[in-house]
A = this chain, B = another copy of it.
Amino acid sequence: MYKLLKTDGNARRGQLHTVHGVIETPVFMNVGTVAAIKGAVSTEDLETIGTQVQLSNTYHLHVRPGDKIVKKMGGLHKFMSWERPILTDSGGFQVFSLAGLRKIKEEGVYFQSHIDGHRIFMGPEESMQIQSNLASTIAMAFDECPPSKAEREYIQKSVERTTRWLARCQAEMKRLNSLEDTINPHQLLFGINQGGVLPDIRMDHAKRISDMNLDGYAVGGLAVGESHEEMYGVLDVTTPLLPVDKPRYLMGVGTPANILEAVDRGIDFFDCVYPSRNGRHGHVYTNHGKLNLFNAKYELDDRPIEEGCGCPACRRYSRSYIRHLLKAKEMLGMRLCVLHNLYFYNTMMTEIRQAIDEGRYKSYKKEKLDRMAAGE
């Protein structure tokens, strides 16, 4: 159940109450693709850096270790030793981006495993069944994510099919939640708005899915090649049409600036691989911009990545040491950078919530963006 606590302009401060605890929103979910955050980050680490929600990828877990294995082990929470909320994606995005030869039909998608090439079928029912086996807190609807630059006609047809798939997802999730051997009978389902960067299709679709009384609504198919302005434009026309009393999730977004702008347009949930992926490459976020720790100027820099930062990397280690680890290809270097970046994102979300609570979101956003743009 979502509780809207306060608004500040279009920015929303809320809480999503789940069987795995309360999620304070706006929130940034930390992406653990195969039931682990890349960079040797443990669930114990995640507790230390204030992670509220972990996101796991349905497609990856379906092919390895297999969702039936995870179910036998008691579901994802028990499997990876994480008691707080977990969101699973539908598998759709990976099917469209990772898998080999695929064929989209009304019933679903036929494709090949990216691991061993074996033939797999996934439709709305299969996606719900897999996510039910994984027993996440929040399941995502199975949708098609068409290329943002596809023809209007293709996008129109794709969105219509996605809407039909959504109804099938909803019916199947209802059925699965009522089964006796289900691990999480309270699994939530979020629908996904699509429509490329075409405002009329986006708006029409947003209205139609808003009537379906889902547990939450995502805006999908963005951050796939369109400009930031196009992305913000889509949010400007869709979020006003989504139910006020349901959480809204902007999928796969993004940079700190993207998040600050999207919160200002009424978004509550985010996820992105940037902090972990950039961390593994030695790129770290600070309030004075992003640093590349491979840079020679950090060789003798005994300061932490960011002065005053409370993350496990900054509490103990210098830029000089972390740079040495990265250059020597020591995994610890990657781990420390990933921990710092996730902490940076999580902490920014705390600041965002506080700013909305105190009715000063616009000035907070401006100040944060200016500081990050100014550099060290």
Give me the interface of A with B, judged by CB distance under 8 Å.
34-44, 60, 64-65, 69, 72-74, 79-81, 299-300, 302, 312, 316-318, 320-321, 324-325, 327-328, 330-336
Contacts and interface: CB of A to CB of B under 8 A. Distances in A.
Given A69-B300, A73-B300, A300-B72, A321 B80 contact: yes
A366 to B, nearest CB: 37
**Stoichiometry, copies per complex:** 2
Given A40-B335, A60-B328, A73-B300, 8 more contacts: A36-B332, A38-B330, A40-B334, A41-B332, A42-B312, A73-B321, A80-B321, A81-B316
B331 A40 contact: yes
A53 to B, nearest CB: 18
Contact of A69 (B69, B80, B299): B299
Contact of A42 (B34, B299, B300, B336): B336
B73 A332 contact: no
Given A42-B312, A73-B318, A300-B72, A331 B328 contact: no
Contact of A335 (B42, B299, B327): B42
Contacts of A332: 36-37, 40-42
Contacts of A318: 73, 79
A331 B335 contact: yes
A279 to B, nearest CB: 12
Contacts of A80: 317, 321
A48 to B, nearest CB: 10
Contact of A81 (B73, B79, B321, B334): B321
Q: Please indicate which of the listed interface residues A40, A44, A64 has the most CB atoms of chain B within 10 Å of its own CB.
A: A40
Nearest to A316: B81
